[in-house]
Every structure is written in structure tokens, then in C-alpha cells.
A and B are shown apart, each in its own frame.
Chain A
Amino acid sequence: MEPLSSEGMGEILSPPATTLGFVGWVRRNLFNGIFNSLVTMVVLAVLMAFVPRFIKWALLDGVWYSSGQGCREAGGACWSVVTRNLRFILFGFYPYEQQWRPVLCVGLFMGLFAFSRKPRHWNRRLLYAWGTGLLIMGVLMPGGIFGLDYIEPARWGGICLTLLLSLFGLTAAYPLGVILALGRQSKLPVVKSLSVIYIELIRGVPLISLLFMASVMFPLFLPEGITVNKILRAQAAIILFTAAYIAEVVRGGLQAIPRGQYEAAESLGLDYTLKMRLIILPQALKIVIPPTVSILISAFKDTSLVVIIGLFDLLKTTQVTLANPEWMGFSTEAFSFIAVIYFVGCFSMSNLSRRLEREL
């Protein structure tokens, strides 16, 4: 077929300029109708009132590297409270010259996380890589072997504590959660009711009450002479708490598997363990990967609660910095910095969760 030519036909008119390009876009999206035009004007007015003031305070008048006194004289944002105390805020009381170890741990974690973002990297090797990574972190932080100085857990702090609590919390809570979910779906009434009671009990109370339990009640449960480090106790509380939420997510996955799969597995003569391990769980756990990432996000955010029982996580180190008379009164800047760290972590994870939901 020959291409159409405009020769001999009427001149082709282009659409009116007001519907094309930037002007068209603005008209379509910001000023389509009286109400929307009004909303746009109001929003713009509010932005005009606040954004320039914020930029002046945060950037133009901001002080980036001065003493606390210098900050008070400047009048703008005092980012010095962050830059001058950065290593304490990030690593707490971890010995200064040994802080390459937590840096390495955080770097290792970020590398593993970045690599795990692509579903095509998911195989057995990645699992081994995570296992090795966690092992290295577990050795690097306390030290005591390979000529590394021993650093008692009481001195761990800052971002490492936050990462360790959420990462090991999820790793340990995952199997427990799967078992609880299987228990809740079980046909055995005793197993089922105990699982239901556990899950509903934990989901009905705030994490704080479990952390209180860990800090004041656990010591009473232990035989005389045995003491468990406070970080480990908080870790146990986080594991018990997260497991109940994972159980509910996994239960959703188990319920989404069609009955036919269960029946087919049974008709092959597989017993309960084989049926679950080979047929049901691989499918169910794959479905629930996106909601599991959401639980990881919650766990990451919830670890900040350990500050209430006095552990030196990111929030506590910031508070300690702010209690120093030199830096008193600059909470806004310091908390904004911590907020950015949490935001970057959670936002990248929630983006991942959303992408996986589309791809899987």
C-alpha cells in the first residue's frame, strides 16, 4: 500500500496550541475546572509561604560545621549537631578506632540487600551469601577471635544495633512464624488452639509491653546465677512479636493455595512433612514475599522502640547527643537527620515490595 500523501487533500490542522505541550499539560492537570483551579492556587500559595522560608532556614542560613556556640549565633539550621557528632550517633559507644567493623557490617548488609533486589538473583547461592554475611556480621561485631578485640554487646549502638535487631529478628522469627502458621492451619485441636492463642495474644498487645517483659520479667524466669544480656532479651521480645505477624502473613499464603494441591500431594502418598515441604510451603512462601518485606519494614521501624528500655539504638544516641549542654535545643535538625536515614531504608524496601508485587 502506498503511503498517503497530503497532496490534493485539505491542509492537516494541528491541534490548538493550548492542548499541547507544557501549556496543555498544565491546563489538563492543574486548571481543569473552577474547583481544581482554586485548589491549585491555594496549594501554590501555601507552598510559596513555606518553601522559601524552609530553604532559607535549612540551606542559606544553615551552619554545617561549627561549635554549638556558633550555631546559636547563626540563627539558621544547625547541621553541625549532626556533622560534629556523626560517629557517635551512628555507632554509639563502639570504640572509636574499631568503628571500621560496624562500617563494614553496614556496607555488607547494603551490598547484599542491593543484590537481592532482583528476583533473578534468587537462588541457593544467594541464600549461602546471606548466611555467610550474617555469620561475618556475627563475628565482626563482637570480635574476640582472629585477633580482633572483644567488644561487649553493651557497647554496641547506633545504626548497627538497629540493623542487627531487625535483621536477626526477622531471620529468627521467620521459621517460628511458619511453624505457628502451620499450627494454626492444623487439624489437631490442641496445636491449633495454642497457636491461635499465641498469635492473637501477641497481636493484641503493643510491642512495648513485650519489651517491658524482656527488660523486667525475663530475668525472673531464669534460674539463679544465669543472666542474659539486655540486647539479647530485647532481641527475643522482637522475635516473639514479629513471629506472630509473620504467622498471619504465611497463613494468608497457605489459604491461597488451591485445595487441589493439598489433595494431589496426599494422593501421591506424601505424608504431612513431605507434603508441606515439597508442595505447599514453596508455593505459599513465594506468594507472601511482598507482605513479608512489609513486615521487615515494620520490624526495622519498630526496633526504634528499644530506646524505651534504654538500649543505645540510633534514637538513643541522638538523644544522648542532644542532652549535651553544647548541643541542647537542636533536636529538629538531629531528628530530621535520623528521619532521613529511616526514610531511605524504609522507602527503598517498600519500593522493592511494590515492585515484587507486580513482578511475581
Chain B
Amino acid sequence: MAEDLSAGNDASASEAVPFWHDPAKRGMAFQAAFLILVLTMGYVLFTITRGNLERQSIATGFDFLTREAGFEIGESLIAYSAANTYARALVVGILNTLKVAVIGIVMTVVLGGLVGVARLSANWLLARLAAAYIEVLQNIPILLQLFFWYAIFREVLPSPRQTMNPIAGVYFNNRGFFFPVPKHDPAHEMMAAAFVAAWVAGLFLRRWARRRQDLTGRTFPGWTCSVLLLLLFPFGVWLAFGAPSAMEIPQLKGFNFEGGLSISPEFGALLLGLVLYTSAFVAEIVRAGIQAVSHGQTEAAMSIGLRPSLVLSLIVLPQALRVIIPPLTSQMLNLTKNSSLAVAIGYPDVVSVVNTTINQTGQAIEGVLMIMTVYLVLSLATSAFMNWYNKKMALVER
């Protein structure tokens, strides 16, 4: 009845009033005008730009990607030389960005979590210290922090000839940080395989333990056992292969160290700056998340006789994580986006590689588009992953 009435009303109204008083039609007209305006502006910009490009004889299109890049890149995860193409240089840049972002995110979450918990500590000194850490690092621009760490690494650390040698085989100097690594051995591949196998076994073990608990009520230390598996199985394989323990120790050759694992001052400064800056924000998020779980929850859990460790892992953390994860995601994205500041201290991330490309080819539009695409894809991928995780952690209501 009511629907009929309103439909009738609409019909009669649209007949009676002129179209500029009909909200629906007015909306359509407004949208059409808006769209035309945007398209016209786009067209005008396009024409002007094309004219400018022709006048300055700048090429367009992505053909340059297949040409020889002709510039060296300081550090790379894949084989690269100046004779490779721009496309490969771009891949090197993207991989370098991913490297610093992934390592940075893991370290940030760990450090931020620790500082956030310390901020809530009953220990006055520790809580004050954590608060100072958060305030100082949040309120200084990340770029300034990067410059600061880079300057310290370049100026305060000694030259390779007077290198610092805190532990045998480990060298810190202004060319980087050098660590010994185990010499390559077939045992390592087998250990990696053992690690994966232990992981899968742990997965099945925990599933079996949960099912048994559901059926019989008897508990089984699934987590402890899987962690032990993860540690012991690769260790056993290592022993079985005769415990190969030869180390590759960095050696001073000429003006620099060679061999072992090396971390360049650029990468070190970028990673340190990003991790310290972002962890201050993460600490605040963690603190807010823990405080969001009401005290009654903890008391209720203790009153049904759960041990403190179980109170934390079964009651407090799952609820806190629900509050923590959405803002944590945006901090991870911030870290990834801030890694673009690498260009300021000379770490060859994607922005820095594209910047060189723009300077050499003059194709600024394509260059900026490539930078934007890379970060948009990274952002969308991270938020897709986090949405999936969020859904998994979401409150299951009866």
C-alpha cells in the first residue's frame, strides 16, 4: 500500500513539477556537467602536455624500458650491471624497496610491541622511558632522522683501516657493517627443507591437538611442541651432515671489506630510521589496544582459573589484536611509503632508480607514473592481506 502510494506520488510529482525541481533529474544533470568539466580539463591538459613534449622533443611511451640503462646500482638482490636494461634496473629498485619494507615491518612490529608493553609497565622508570621514546621519535620528521643516522654512520664510525671490531669477525666502519656467515654447504639446503617440514608437521600437530581437546577435553602442548620441532629438526639434520661449521669471515681487501654478510650504511640508516620512527607509532597503537580490553575480562579469566600466560594468550591478546590490527596496517603502509625517502640518502630503492631514469631519458610522466603504480600495488596488496587477516581474527558472534 505505502509503496504504491509513494510510487503514485512520484509519478504525479514528476509530471507536475519541471525537471529542474526534480532531485533525481537535477542530480543527473549536475553529474553530467561535472563529468564534462573533468573530461574537458583532462583533455586540455593532455593537449598542452603533448604540445610541450613535441616542442621539447621528449619521447613518450615505455620503449625506453628495453634500452640499456648505463648506470650502476650500489646494491642489488639480483645480478645487475650498467649494460642491463632500464626494466631490469627498475626490478632491482622494486626488490630493494621490498627488502627494506619487509625487514623493516617485521622489526617495527617487534620493537613497537615491546615499547608499547613497556609504556604500560608497572615499573615507573621503564614506563617513563618508553613514553620519552615515543614522544621524541614521533615528533621529529623521518627525513631528519634518516639524515641523522646516515651522518652518524658516515662521520662517527671509523674508516675501514681503523675499523671497529666489537666481536671477532664482526666489523663496523663507515663503509658498512660486516658479519661472518656460515660457508655454503649442501647441509644448509637440507636444513631449510627440514625447517619447512617441521613447520608443516607443527601445523598438523596443532590441528590434531585441537580436535582431541574438542573431543576429549584433554589438552596437549601443541605450540611448545611445534616450536621445539622447528628448532630441533633442522639442528638434527645439521648434526647428521657432520655439523659443518666453517664460517666465511669478512676480510679487509684494498679499501674495503669483502666476504660475509655486509650491510651498507645507506641501507642501515634507512632501516634504522624507518624502524625507530614507525615503532613509536606502533607502540602507541599497541598501548591503546591493550588498554581497550576491559579489566573485567582479565578478572573473569583469572576467576575461572586460567594461568596468567593463558589469560594473556586466550583472553587479552585476541581482543587487543582486533583493535590493534587496522591502525597497524596503515602504519605498515606508512613505513613502505616512507621508504621512498631512501632517495635522499642514496639507497637505490625504486624512487631513486626511477629518478636516475628520468634524469637520463627526460621521460618524467612515465617515471612518476611508474613510481605511483609500484606504491599503489604495494598498498593494495598489503591492505588486501590485512583485510583477509582481519576477517580471520574478527569476532565470531553467536
Q: Contacts A220-B49, A222-B48: A43 and B143 contacting too (C-beta < 8 A)?
A: no
Contacts of A135 in B (CB 8 A): none
Q: Which of A314-347 contact B (CB under 8 A)?
A: 315, 319, 322, 329, 331-332, 335-336, 338-339, 342-343, 346-347
Q: Which residue of A lies closest to B127 (CB)?
A: A29
**CB–CB A315/B143 < 8 A:** yes
**CB–CB A329/B155 < 8 A:** yes
Q: Which of A17-71 contact B (CB under 8 A)?
A: 29-30, 32, 36, 39-40, 43-44
Partner of B151, one of A187, A335, A342: A335
Is there a chain B Cβ closer than 8 Å to A2's Cβ? no
Is there a chain A Cβ closer than 8 Å to B11's Cβ? no
Partner of A347, one of B52, B139, B364: B139
CA distance A220 to B49 in the complex (A): 5
**CB–CB A212/B368 < 8 A:** yes
Q: How many A-B residue pairs have CB under 8 A?
A: 158
Q: How far is the CB of B302 from chain A (nearest CB, A)?
A: 17
CA distance A36 to B337 in the complex (A): 38
Is there a chain A Cβ closer than 8 Å to B80's Cβ? no
Q: Contacts A205-B375, A208-B340, A315-B144: A220 and B52 contacting too (C-beta < 8 A)?
A: yes
Q: Which one of B116-124, B200-208, B224-232, B318-326 is at the A interface?
A: B116-124
Is there a chain A Cβ closer than 8 Å to B55's Cβ? yes
Interface 0/1 of B95-128, CB less than 8 Å to A: 0000000000000000000000000011111100
Q: Which residue of A lies closest to B344 (CB)?
A: A308
**CB–CB B143/A188 < 8 A:** no
CA distance A339 to B355 in the complex (A): 28
Is there a chain A Cβ closer than 8 Å to B8's Cβ? no
Is there a chain A Cβ closer than 8 Å to B66's Cβ? no
**CB–CB B139/A346 < 8 A:** yes
Q: How far is the CB of A240 from chain B (nearest CB, A)?
A: 13
Q: Which of A170-201 contact B (CB under 8 A)?
A: 187-191, 194, 201
Q: Which residue of A lies closest to B373 (CB)?
A: A205
Q: Which one of A81-89, A111-119, A149-157, A298-306 is at the B interface?
A: A298-306
Is there a chain B Cβ closer than 8 Å to A223's Cβ? yes
**CB–CB A209/B371 < 8 A:** yes
Is there a chain B Cβ closer than 8 Å to A217's Cβ? yes
Q: Which residue of A lies closest to B48 (CB)?
A: A223
**CB–CB A221/B48 < 8 A:** yes
CA distance A29 to B125 in the complex (A): 8
**CB–CB A30/B125 < 8 A:** yes
Q: Contacts A307-B344, A331-B155: A209 and B123 contacting too (C-beta < 8 A)?
A: no
Is there a chain A Cβ closer than 8 Å to B31's Cβ? yes
Q: How far is the CB of B347 from chain A (nearest CB, A)?
A: 13
CA distance A88 to B55 in the complex (A): 40
Is there a chain B Cβ closer than 8 Å to A282's Cβ? no
Q: Which residue of A lies closest to B338 (CB)?
A: A206
Contacts of A74 in B (CB 8 A): none
Partner of A39, one of B121, B340, B344, B355: B121
Is there a chain A Cβ closer than 8 Å to B30's Cβ? yes
CA distance A205 to B376 in the complex (A): 6
CA distance A268 to B371 in the complex (A): 50
CA distance A342 to B144 in the complex (A): 9
Is there a chain A Cβ closer than 8 Å to B53's Cβ? yes
CA distance A343 to B132 in the complex (A): 12
Is there a chain A Cβ closer than 8 Å to B246's Cβ? no
Contacts of B156 in A (CB 8 A): 332
**CB–CB B144/A335 < 8 A:** yes
Is there a chain A Cβ closer than 8 Å to B329's Cβ? no
Q: Contacts A43-B129, A188-B27, A339-B144: A220 and B155 contacting too (C-beta < 8 A)?
A: no
CA distance A6 to B295 in the complex (A): 40
**CB–CB A217/B368 < 8 A:** yes
Q: Which residue of B lies closest to A346 (CB)?
A: B139
CA distance A207 to B367 in the complex (A): 15
Is there a chain B Cβ closer than 8 Å to A99's Cβ? no
Is there a chain A Cβ closer than 8 Å to B142's Cβ? yes
**CB–CB B343/A29 < 8 A:** no
Q: Which residue of B lies closest to A350 (CB)?
A: B139
Is there a chain B Cβ closer than 8 Å to A224's Cβ? yes
Contacts of A188 in B (CB 8 A): 27, 30-31
**CB–CB A220/B140 < 8 A:** no
**CB–CB B144/A187 < 8 A:** no
Is there a chain A Cβ closer than 8 Å to B233's Cβ? no
Contacts of B52 in A (CB 8 A): 219-222, 224
Is there a chain A Cβ closer than 8 Å to B358's Cβ? yes
Partner of A332, one of B49, B155, B337, B380: B155
Contacts of A304 in B (CB 8 A): 141, 143-144
Is there a chain A Cβ closer than 8 Å to B34's Cβ? yes
Contacts of B138 in A (CB 8 A): 346, 350
Is there a chain A Cβ closer than 8 Å to B147's Cβ? yes
**CB–CB A36/B123 < 8 A:** yes
CA distance A43 to B355 in the complex (A): 45
Interface 0/1 of B349-372, CB less than 8 Å to A: 001000100100000110110011
**CB–CB A347/B341 < 8 A:** no
CA distance A336 to B149 in the complex (A): 11
CA distance A302 to B135 in the complex (A): 17
Q: Contacts A301-B142, A335-B151, A347-B135: A209 and B340 contacting too (C-beta < 8 A)?
A: yes
Q: How far is the CB of B211 from chain A (nearest CB, A)?
A: 37
Q: Which residue of A lies closest to B30 (CB)?
A: A188
Is there a chain A Cβ closer than 8 Å to B314's Cβ? no
Contacts of A307 in B (CB 8 A): 143, 344
**CB–CB B34/A44 < 8 A:** no
Is there a chain B Cβ closer than 8 Å to A147's Cβ? no
Q: Hey, which bits of chain B sit against chain A, CB under 8 A? A: 27, 30-31, 34-35, 38, 45, 48-49, 51-53, 55, 121-126, 129, 135-136, 138-145, 147-148, 151-152, 155-156, 337-338, 340-341, 343-344, 351, 355, 358, 364-365, 367-368, 371-372, 375-376, 379-380
Q: A332-B148, A339-B148, A347-B139 are in contact. List 14 more A-B contacts (CB 8 A).
A: A29-B124, A29-B125, A39-B121, A189-B31, A204-B376, A204-B380, A206-B337, A208-B340, A212-B355, A216-B364, A222-B52, A224-B55, A315-B143, A342-B144
A-B contact pairs, 28 of them (CB 8 A): A40-B123, A40-B125, A40-B126, A188-B31, A201-B372, A201-B376, A204-B372, A204-B379, A206-B341, A209-B368, A209-B375, A212-B358, A212-B368, A216-B368, A221-B48, A222-B52, A223-B48, A297-B139, A304-B143, A319-B147, A331-B152, A331-B155, A332-B151, A335-B148, A342-B140, A342-B141, A342-B144, A343-B140
